[in-house]
Amino acid sequence: MFCLAVTSAIATMTVPAAAQSDTAFHEVETKYIFGLFTLGSATGIEGEKAIELNTTAGFGKRAGRYAATETEIEVEYTPNQYVQIELGPTVSYYNIRNVPGLDDRNGGNVNGFEGDFRFLLLDRGPSPFAVTLSVEPEWHSFDETSGVRVPNYGLETKLEADTELVKNRLFLAFNTLYEPETTLDLSGGG
């Protein structure tokens, strides 16, 4: 009975609320507002620290059972408004059974290390566009599809540009990407 009275008292209490203007919009950080495949130019707030998890997964083949995931665990730091640094390991999991051309395997492992160094080249303000250069070196020790042990090196380089079409409400972004990558064949098959 006491709990019911306390719950009723809490539910009927009024709390003053401050009105917010419908026209007031806060500054938007554009890095992640465009979805999965396009990044905005924002590098974050000076001194900002974060941990990011980014998982890519593949499921299903024509025959057999197939699942492969790769998770990037990145520590992100923004030393100033023009530079952002992300570093961390990559963890992979494979569940492959009876898939033609692939060995059966079931297990996970630490698969490598990745970094992302983002540099704001052109800031919005004097220019209608903001442009960021992103350089992402990576090393993996297992093939992302088969789970076979192979040394793999890549260097993804992107230009990420965006502009405000309507102040703090509507944005347009464009990315261009170049990603040289090499995988060494340790099987001796050429």
Question: Domain residues of the chain, as ranges?
Answer: 46-183
Let me know if 44 is exposed, middle or buried by CB neighbors in 10 A (0-12, 13-18, 19+). buried
Please, which residues bridge with residue 65 across strands?
97
Q: In this structure, are strands 105-122 and 149-166 parallel, antiparallel, or unpaired?
A: unpaired
pTM of the model: 0.76
Q: Is residue 189's pLDDT more than 70? A: no
pLDDT (tens digit, 9 = 90+) per residue, 43-101? 888 999 999 999 999 999 999 999 999 999 999 999 999 999 999 999 999 999 999 99
Closest CA to 61 of 111, 108, 105, 101: 101
